[in-house]
Amino acid sequence: MPAVNTGSKVLLTGGTGFLGAWVLKNLLEEGFSVRAAVRSEAKASVLKEQFSQYINRLEFVYIDDLTTPGIFDKAVADVEGIIHCASPLGGSDPDLDPQRLIGPAVDGTLSILRSAINSTNVKRVVVTSSVTTAWQAVPKYTPIVYNENDWNEQAVELVKAKGKEAPPFIKYAASKVLAEQAAWNFMKENNPNFDLVTILPGYVWGKILGGTAADIKGSNARLLNLLKSSTLANRTPEAMKAEWPIVDARDVSSHHVQALTAENAGGERLLSVAATISTQDAINLINANPIEGIVLPQSETLGDWIPNAEIANEKIQKVLEVTFRPVADTVRETVVGAIEAGWKQ
């Protein structure tokens, strides 16, 4: 199917989030007009101030509950493309009912697709999925490489078996698996006049666009917590060997926009992961190019350490004709950006 035309109007959900804000920035810089779905005028005000130079191409639609049937009908009426970034974050609450993640993730995705099918203008929908839909973050005796043909059915089965007792990370992974599968099943069952692309980001690291240290969450917060002086003082060998399949926020946000415009991207799952590194690798990279005010242990090697799993990224590089930034740049940008936002080690 024809790809979305550069400069056309795009509906974006999740624009107030970390990744969504980067996607919004990319869309506006590439000349698109954007209708951002936000929960309130207060949320819109933040984006209006942040992207004031593009205010003539930025508008808002107020949607409190993405799962409400028909809630997107008017919002999609005159757009060519949709980027659906919004999805509930997992958090760390061990007692969280997994349905509080799974329900909104699945129903929110289906809600936007059902509205899109009634529009004659929509050409493509890009949905933010996750590396966790393909990658099973469990120890393996033999390292393996995950690609776009893999599905993390293990997470879904664990949540079915354990419910609230499943680890928080597994609950989140299950919600992303089921939401993405629901999207592909919808496409198969309804054969709409638009096509679908799903982007599967790794741990997204990078500078937050606006806000303070209190606004640093998700993957960034996990890295920064490991670099805290108190954490490093009690570090374990296992923590230093923790695996991070990462991607730069600047890269993966650009991938979302390119997925709109690349004609051959339609109907594809695309893993967006630059590399898999260890916590020790991150420390070594910072030590190689020190950051003022950051004190870390000496660089070390982990002997014959190799990740339990690698994430293939050849497909996205071929389909979208992209490359990834050096991991060292991503790690540095994340920490420097956090310091600028007020984070202290």
Residues identified as active-site: 176
- Asked whether the beta carbons of 139 and 122 are under 8 A apart, the reply is no
- Asked whether the beta carbons of 22 and 30 are under 8 A apart, the reply is no
List the end-to-end C-alpha distance of the chain, in Å, as a whole number: 49
How does strand 81-84 pair with strand 309-311?
A: unpaired
For residue 308, count other CB atoms closer than 10 A to its CB: 17
Dump strand ranges (E) for the chain.
9-13, 33-38, 58-62, 81-84, 124-128, 144-146, 195-201, 203-205, 243-248, 269-272, 275-278, 309-311
Closest C-alpha among 109, 62, 104 to residue 82 = 109
Tokens 């936000």 belong to which residue? 38
